Structure 1
Amino acid sequence: MTIVQRYILKQFFKYFGMIQVVVFSLVVAIDYLAWISKFLAAEYNLLDGVWFVILRNLGIIVMMTPVCALLSSVVLFGLMRRNNEVVALKGGGISAWNLMKPLAGAGMILTLLVFILAETVVPVALNKSTYIRMVEIKKRNIQTTHGNNIWLRHGREIIYIKHYTIATKTLSGVSITRFDDDEFVPTRRVDAATGVYNGRSWSLKDAIIQEPSTSGGQRSRYVDAAIEMRGVSPDDLGSVVKEARQMSFFELWNYIHKMEKEGYDVTRYRVDFQAKMAFPLLCLMMVLIGSGIALTRQRHEGIPVSVGLGIGAAFLFWVFYSLCLSLGYGEMLPPVIAAWAADVVFLCAGGLLLQDIE
């Protein structure tokens, strides 16, 4: 690696680190202010609240890495153009393509870093923040098992939910066991195949109720009418159901196959599984686009123009990426296309920009 390439890499990662710190600090500060009233109401320690907000927002570092990479390359080459460094290097026989080579390597490093963080640190942090939010702040005794089965306690009842679909607000495999007020003895059990939220409570359908009979045994009866289940909101269930970003690559893969075998719809998880592979590569695409924007601008246009174009490109990226994922969740696009479309489109856009860098 030449001295020039080392210089470019050093400057790139310096600006990248500065932008990431500023963005993450702003996100944490804003989110903390939004949560501070809840901390006070729950009598939760405000310093512990800072740690909670950091944990729940660690995923922002991963999500913002492609955008920060784009802006870092724009700022790097914008400053080099303003200081006539690009002109001097080109005059010394170094082409713009050679200037970009170290940034391509930086893009690959960031791709690997994003994948590692998304597989290790982020799932642990999100699961920990979920536990703090539900148990220590909201004081709710609710949790999930490894397979996303939900257990919670409401009054004298213990509720088990085998599967909860966030998009449609439907339950599958519900079991409610009620216990005696004085002794820990079950007095009633309700098993329902499905449940749907009607806006006020959950309506359980196709239920079997088991109760003690007067003769000392158990009496079971089938109820085809809807049975209400109160005390549990969709927000409570949605906050504890593991999202794809809370699972590692192989954990998500195994979960998808397990749920498919049991007959559940896993379209959303299939889209997220493809996105786990496609998203890190956007770091490389964004570095190419940012370099193309900065190196194709005229010197008199200045850094603000390049940064403005970079922010505009980042905005278009998020809109297009989110739109594609939404179409995939709605089964209007296959999971592979929904997740990889942004990579392909922005790779082509970067290629078009780089045609004129010389």
Structure 2
Amino acid sequence: MLLKSIMRIELGGGAMADAHHTYALRFGELGLKSAPVRRNFQRVLIASLDRAAILNNIDLYHDRVDTLVLATTSGPRDVVEGILRRCFGMVGCDPVTQMDLNPEVVAAAALKRDERRGEARTFAVRCRRSGSKTEWNSQTFAGTVGHHMLELDPSLKVNLSNPEITVRVHITPKDAWLMEKRIPGPGGLPCGVQGNVIANIQSESDLLSAWQVMRRGAGIVPIKGSNNDLMAILDDWDAGLGEAAKGNISSSRKKKWGKRTPWGFIGMPRMEAEKRIRKDRDRITPPVELDATQGWSESEKSALLAHIKDPISNEWGHAGNSTLLSWIE
């Protein structure tokens, strides 16, 4: 197993802190697909993460522990989490710490990271289990962790309905994984699993449309001459896209683009798009002109644009944005 080979620093009580950072990846709607489709989508998603890691000069290792899909790195946390926030197909990721399958160890570790330790506050422990059955199930492990937390910090009070602090832990037959606050991702589908779309990115409107079809799994094929500044923004969401717009196309991207005829276009007249799209004798339907912001208000466009430029400071979509629900009011 990959994680066994990563150096770990022993802490008091048997907890272990990796010299690396480890994240549990959360895939959202990918889980609705059949097993073969899900495996293919996850393979494309992992390849996207690898490209971003290479371009940012950081290491990134992948592993699976039962149902947990893990990414481990020694890179700077802000760089790594910036990449993870921009990975289409992931609804989020949980920073995790691997430790002994011991409720007392988990309780001590949870309290050690609690900035409000010693204050009066409510808490709950949420536990999930995967793998073969052991002496612990999710309920008994969560209850025992809570018991030890109350012993270690009497100022705590249990509130399972609306706790101020929620301790999340995932247990496997051999280990416990203590989770930190979830880092939201963009959701959607990995880039490239839903075919290709050619794009001439010259305006913010083109940028917004391209980002939205990327989120739904389309691979953007930028034409040479697209605006470099706007392509640099999209490059953060699909590593290598900016260089491809300049004509510096990687062999893997060229191979991927060559497999499918683009089914849509952005930022150009239909006649120009049809000239650029390779004629396919099996093609029956004409290419689709895409404007994913049709009918949007300026405030909605501004909110999405702010999120695309800085997803850390500007949440959007399932991560939270009030403009998406404004039509209900």
Which protein is richer in strand relative to its size? Answer: 2
Higher relative contact order (CA 8 A, sep 6+): 1
Computing the radius of gyration over CA atoms, which structure comes out larger, 1 or 2? 1
